[in-house]
Amino acid sequence: MTRKAEAEKMVDRFAEFKELKNIDKTTMISVLEESFRKVLANMFETDENFDVIMNPDKGDCEIYQNLQVVPDGEVENPNMQIGITDAKEIDAECEIGEDVAKQIFFEKFGRRAILNLRQTLQSKILDLQKDALYSKFHELEGEVVTGEVHQIWKREMLLLDDEQNELIMPKEEQIPSDFFHKGDMVRCIVKRVDNPNGNPKVIVSRTDERFLRRLFEQEVPEIHDGLITIKAVARVPGERAKIAVESYDDRVDPVGACVGVKGSRVHGIVRELHNENIDVISYTQNPELFIQRALSPAKISSIRLDPEEKRAEVFLHPDEVSLAIGKGGLNIRLASMLTGYTIDVYRDLDEGEEDIYLDEFRDEIDDWVIEALKNVGLGTAKAVINASPETLAQADLEEDTVAHVLEVLRAEFED
């Protein structure tokens, strides 16, 4: 390839610069000038007497070398000086002692210099694109983006946004019921931007609780406008979620606004989350009332709080215990996440009924076993003894462990 062809190829590469996305014009010009000056300094020992004029809109540049005019035969440094005869060819009216601007052309650079310039530019372009990508998505953390499924692997999925930026969604950031095909459009949030070794990697998520927040903001105008605030969110992706909302206008019902007429607003979010059930409750600063609402649909008889330890002992009628716990302990787990309290559920004793709290058996039953039983609403000895096999199975204990617990508890009442 001739020098001229190399130069033309270089100009074509430069012209591509104006098409680069996410790179502002000022930065682009600065980097281009820096790259040209680096090559000039290598060729002419200095770049101080050069003017580099960038024309990004045209896709080219002009380079001028400022040389001092000296008498013929007295040129000591051709990189800084020029004889009067040669200077007159550039500017017929120039005089000795003045400066003339000699234009430098690509084809005069030489093949090695042109290749060096191309490599420098390509490296700078790549660095600029990486920096721009990191900055853009770092500012978008927690915001909803949409991407098209481009590739699906076992542990992650690759999405491309409308500017062909790569978005990575690991398996753990996908809702368990998510099932996408190549070409599907997927909504998610930017969870974080990793930047190992200067190579930004955009991680997106559909399981992050912020995704649920953003969906409500998009679906409920009152939240978007600031009339209603989302105070807390608890979520087990793909199964169930609880969201606490508060209104700053007494005329606006926060729960009704979020649910919509006949559930129209919340149903759209449920569909987006592949039928994840969503409970919307009204927030209150009263912790007892907040816990009561969080455990809905169960009806609570009484609550005993320990604010310092952030623990709550909740007492319910035996028929309400299973509702408070929920399938697999999901309802009580979400209520604890939403309120910030560790919630222990106990059934109310009928008048005259004798019972003993499980905590009294810690010398005979391991602490972790007692906590597992309490987590499924079995807080007393009689509650465990009278529990169905299905309820005991929710505690996820070995058969031998359950048998030991029952033996200890029954022996207490036999005595």
CB 258 within 8 A of CB 223: yes
Instruction: pLDDT band for 17, please (50, 70, 90 cuts).
Output: low
For 242, the enclosing helix (H) or strand (E) is strand 240-247
pLDDT at 1 over 70: no
Give percent of the chain with pLDDT exceeding 90.
34
Coil, helix or strand for 228? strand
Query: Residue 59: what pLDDT?
Result: 61
Q: pLDDT higher for 228 or 117?
A: 228
pLDDT classification of 269: cutoffs 50, 70, 90: very high
Contact between 59 and 11 (Cβ < 8 Å): yes
Say which range, 13-22, 70-79, 139-148, 234-243, has the weakest mean pLDDT: 13-22
Write out the two tokens for 396: 């996820």
CA–CA gap between residue 232 and residue 246 (Å, rounded): 10
Q: What confidence tens digit (pLDDT) does each residue in 162-203 have?
A: 888 999 999 999 999 889 999 999 999 999 999 888 889 999
pLDDT, position 131: 85
pLDDT tens by residue, 205-235: 999 999 999 999 999 999 988 899 999 999 9
**What is the pLDDT averaged over residues 301-323?**
85
> Which position has the token pair 């060096």?
116
Upper half-sphere CA count for residue 90 (Cβ side, 13 Å): 21
Question: What are 356-399's pLDDT values in tens digits?
Answer: 878 888 888 888 888 888 777 777 788 888 787 877 887 888 88
Could you give the residue ranges of the DSSP H alpha helices within 70-175? 84-90, 111-139
Whole-number average pLDDT of the chain = 85
Greater model confidence, 33 or 158 = 158
> And the tokens for 178?
């998510």
Name the least confident of 55-69, 88-102, 339-353: 339-353
pLDDT at position 375 is 75
Domain 141-207 is found in CATH 2.40.50.140 = yes
DSSP character at residue 253: -
Pairwise CA distance, residues 177 & 277, whole Å: 13
CA-nearest of 231, 239, 290, 281 to 256 is 281
- 161 within 8 A of 143, measured Cβ to Cβ: no
Q: Per DSSP, what are the bridge partners of residue 378?
A: none
- Cα separation of 205 and 207, whole Å? 6
Q: What's the DSSP call for residue 274?
A: T
Rounded distance, CA 89 to CA 68, Å?
A: 14
Each domain of the chain, given as residue ranges in start order, spans 3-136, 141-207, 209-283
Q: Hey, which of 58-67, 102-111, 305-314, 318-327 has the most confident mean pLDDT?
A: 305-314
pLDDT of residue 379: 77
pLDDT, position 24: 67
209-283: what CATH class?
Answer: alpha beta
Tell me how far apart the alpha carbons of residues 401 and 366 are, in angstroms, rounded to a whole number. 10
Q: Give yes or no for a contact between 145 and 189, defined as CB atoms under 8 angstroms apart.
A: yes
- Classify domain 3-136 at the CATH topology level: N Utilization Substance Protein A; Chain:P; domain 4 (3.30.1480)
Mind listing the pLDDT tens digit for each residue in 315-351? Answer: 888 778 888 888 888 899 999 999 999 988 877 765 5
pLDDT computed for residue 3 by the predictor? 47
Residue 281 has pLDDT above 50, yes or no: yes
Predicted TM-score (pTM) of this structure: 0.66
**Predicted pLDDT at 370:** 86
Q: What is the DSSP string of 349-409?
A: PPTT----BGGGGTTTS-HHHHHHHHTTT--BHHHHHT--HHHHHTT---HHHHHHHHHHH
Cα–Cα distance, 189 to 411 (Å, whole number): 55
